[in-house]
Amino acid sequence: MDKITLAPIDSALISVREYSSLYTDSLGGFTIEQMGGGSDFEVLVERLGYEPKYIEFSVQNNDLDNIVIQLQPTNKVYKPKLSQNQLRFINTLIKIAFSLMNVFTLIFILINAEIRWQYIWITGILFINLVFNLLYLDFNLISYEIIHAPFFLSGYWNNPYSLKIAVPIVSIVFWVLYFSNRNLIKEDTLEIRNDSKRPG
C-alpha cells in the first residue's frame, strides 16, 4: 500500500529469490508461497513512482499470510547498478576469497608456535567478521553484522538482491601487523629454543 495515502497499490512487482516473481492484484494483495527447507529469503518490491522496498524474511519469525508492505512515493527512477550476473559473480568471489583468507590465517597461526596471543587471534577470526549488506539497486546500506562466522557460505539463490561485502577484519589486522611490525606478534625463535633447553 501507499505509505502516504494508505491506498492499495496494484501491479507492483514482487521478486522472491531470483527466478520467482508475482504482481499485486487490484486490491494490492499477493500470496508468497512457503519456501522449502525453512530458509530465510529476500523479497524486492518495485513499482514505478515508488522507492523499491527490500525485505529480508525469516520463515520462522514472519507470518507470510499477514504481511503489509508500504511503499514510499518518489519521482526518482531506480535502475540496478549491477546486473544479476555481475552481482552473483561479485558475491561468490567475495565469499570464496575471504573464506579462504580466514582458513589460511587460522592454519598459519596454528602451525606457528612463535605467534603471540594465538588463542586471541583464533577467537577473533572465528567470531569477529564484518558483513555489510548493500541493496544492489543503489548500494544503500541495508544492514551490517559484526559477529559472524569465519566462512561466508550462505547461498546466493535466497539473497539475489543484496551485495554482501564480507570483511575478515581480524585476519586483515593480523597480516598487516605480521608484515609491518612482525616483532609485535611473533616471539623470538632463539628465545623459544633456549627456554625449551632449560632443565625442568
Residues 190 and 112 in one domain: yes
Helix axes 169-180, 118-127, angle to 10 degrees: 140
Enclosing domain of residue 57 = 1-78
Residues 16 and 101 in one domain: no
Roughly how many angstroms between the first and final C-alpha of the chain, as a whole number? 77
Residues 20 and 105 in one domain: no
How far is 64 from 43, CA to CA, in rounded Å? 12
User: Residue 86: pLDDT above 60?
Assistant: yes
Mean pLDDT of the chain: 80
For residue 73, give the nearest of 2, 10, 142 by alpha carbon.
2
Residues 111 and 178 in one domain: yes
Residues 62 and 92 in one domain: no
User: Residue 58: pLDDT above 80?
Assistant: no
Residues 90 and 189 in one domain: yes
User: Residue 107: pLDDT above 90?
Assistant: yes
User: Residue 162: pLDDT above 60?
Assistant: yes
Give the pLDDT confidence of 23-49 residue by residue, as tens digits: 888 888 887 776 555 567 788 888 888
Give the CA distances from residue 120 to residues 50, 170, 171, in Å, rounded to whole numbers and listed in that order: 48, 10, 12
User: Residue 199: pLDDT above 70?
Assistant: no
CATH of the domain at 54: 2.60.40.1120
Residues 88 and 170 in one domain: yes
Residues 92 and 172 in one domain: yes
Strands 41-46 and 141-147: unpaired
How far is 193 from 93, CA to CA, in rounded Å? 42
**How many domains are there within the chain?**
2
Last residue of a domain, one of 49, 78, 107: 78
Residue 25 one-letter amino acid: D
Residues 123 and 66 in one domain: no
Cβ-based neighbours of 87, under 8 Å, separated by 6 or more: 136, 160, 163
Residues 56 and 102 in one domain: no
Residues 52 and 97 in one domain: no
Last residue of a domain, one of 53, 78, 103: 78
Last residue of a domain, one of 30, 54, 78: 78
Residues 186 and 93 in one domain: yes
How far is 169 from 148, CA to CA, in rounded Å? 11
